[in-house]
Structure 1
């Protein structure tokens, strides 16, 4: 995908009936459906069944099977509950009659209440940083294998600016912390639900990599299988996806071929707009 319109088209599902929707696939270079795509599409499907005064505040998904790029995905929405303040939906994504992903989401009407948040990390402003693609150019000769992997998987519709030297982080073992500025490369005028769907898509980038940072010298790019296992997002406050957002990630644990990572997403003014948690597979391929 080269244009933001392509992503919006991808997230905009075809309605079959009141509870069933069909989505197409981004032809991901790694050969299976991208997890962020299913996150964004499932949230879109749920939103089509919810009253207009309700905004998503959380979603929790489990990746069950790897998705086939050549098969459209059917999203079936179950109206769990419509309450006075909260609405709950369950979405099951299927290919060939088999569930590949399931997600629960909760929506709420706007309410007044207590308000606090943690502070944003003290990091360099994005205008003073190079993009991730500019940073990895030096790897073209020193580590062409990793360079080609990153280049082929980098989404052109998003701009990422790491706060630390990316080439060093990918080559040497280091602390499980990863701070990344991100935004869409094009401006967009969109409703908050669509902004949330795009953020859900983007939130699957870089977070599992964070769990690999203490083990980079042991994890060969061609001999390690990475896959998202589950993914949760809490939407706290409004935001603009075409403005700079800091994705501050850390990984408290990795064990049993699984890495667990957390992310806090702040706008440039330090407002915490969303929180993310993910566990992913980091399996070393033997032989």
Structure 2
């Protein structure tokens, strides 16, 4: 089968590049095979959100125009290496009248590190309802970002974490209310954070959906840890995502503020579950997220 001509072979062929788009991008090698670049300057393990986003971009390259991704389900199989590229192999399982389905295997050094399935749909009309935007949420302009919070709480984070926070990271996060590691009080219930890219993105909704796939993995499992007054930064902690699911309900811009509402219904057996909802500033529910993670701490 041939490459769908309606999709560009590279995001970099579009508008002026930014620091996020290149690490979401994939390069076509041949029909249904793509390569994702390593994280520039990366070391240690790959960020799971980047692998998910690149797998989604690979699947999207094989789908005809007019079919938008509305859901994805991913399993993390092995840790990836941030300084090495990833090969993505796409299986075109189904193209129907309204839906298309793709399976993607992400491979590094000859071994699968992630399996992903993604579904795409033509725009359709039907019944509609959504959960309401939460009450009493301050605007993001009234809040501090993570670096500002860290600087206001000296000693709350390790020096290497401060170094990481000072990097020119692609996404800015502004927590609503007390949050680890600056406040380690055990808390149940919903945790809120505003998030957006630090720079404008182009208008292509494909890029914004890939950017949300990347961003939705940022801090989601922390929702399960907060219920116990723990953080993934704790000494000796071993925390890793096991799977990730994302449902996209409508269009949005990742370079405008989105509210991420996170809660954890359960932890046990060295695992924890976190659920998320994503709202735009104009109060539309545009995505839902679910994740289970491994959580191990020294005795």
The two structures have a TM-score, normalised by structure 1, of 0.92
Rounded Cα–Cα distance in structure 2 between residues aligned with 1:38 and 1:270: 29
Aligned length: 282
Residue 132 of structure 1: aligned partner = 146
Could you list the per-position Cα deviations for residues 157-214 of structure 1 after superposition, in whole angstroms to 9, with x for gaps in the alignment?
2111111023576422222531000111112223111100001001111111111002
- Higher alpha-carbon deviation: 112-121 or 3-12: 3-12
Asked whether 1:245 is paired with 2:258, we answer yes
Residue 23 of structure 1: aligned partner = 36
Deviation at 1:138?
2.8
Asked whether 1:115 is paired with 2:122, we answer no
Flag the 1:136–1:253 CA change in 2: closer, same or farther, 3 A. same
Deviation at 1:68?
1.8
Structure 1 portions without partners, runs of 5+: none
- Higher alpha-carbon deviation: 18-27 or 255-264: 18-27
Rounded Cα–Cα distance in structure 2 between residues aligned with 1:211 and 1:10: 28
Flag the 1:205–1:218 CA change in 2: closer, same or farther, 3 A. closer
- Higher alpha-carbon deviation: 69-78 or 132-141: 132-141
Structure 2 portions without partners, runs of 5+: 1-15
Flag the 1:199–1:217 CA change in 2: closer, same or farther, 3 A. closer
The correspondence for 2:296, drawn from 279, 283, 287, is 283
Residue 178 of structure 2: aligned partner = 165
The correspondence for 1:34, drawn from 40, 47, 58, is 47
CA contact (8 A) 2:264 2:273 kept: yes
CA contact (8 A) 1:56 1:107 kept: yes
Deviation at 1:18?
1.3
Flag the 1:73–1:121 CA change in 2: closer, same or farther, 3 A. same
Asked whether 1:88 is paired with 2:101, we answer yes
The two structures have a TM-score, normalised by structure 2, of 0.88
CA contact (8 A) 1:176 1:213 kept: no
Could you list the per-position Cα deviations for residues 75-109 of structure 1 after superposition, in whole angstroms to 9, with x for gaps in the alignment?
00000001010000000000121111000000000
Flag the 1:176–1:186 CA change in 2: closer, same or farther, 3 A. same
What secondary structure, in the 3-state scheme, does the structure 2 residue paired with 1:6 have? coil
Rounded Cα–Cα distance in structure 2 between residues aligned with 1:32 and 1:184: 22
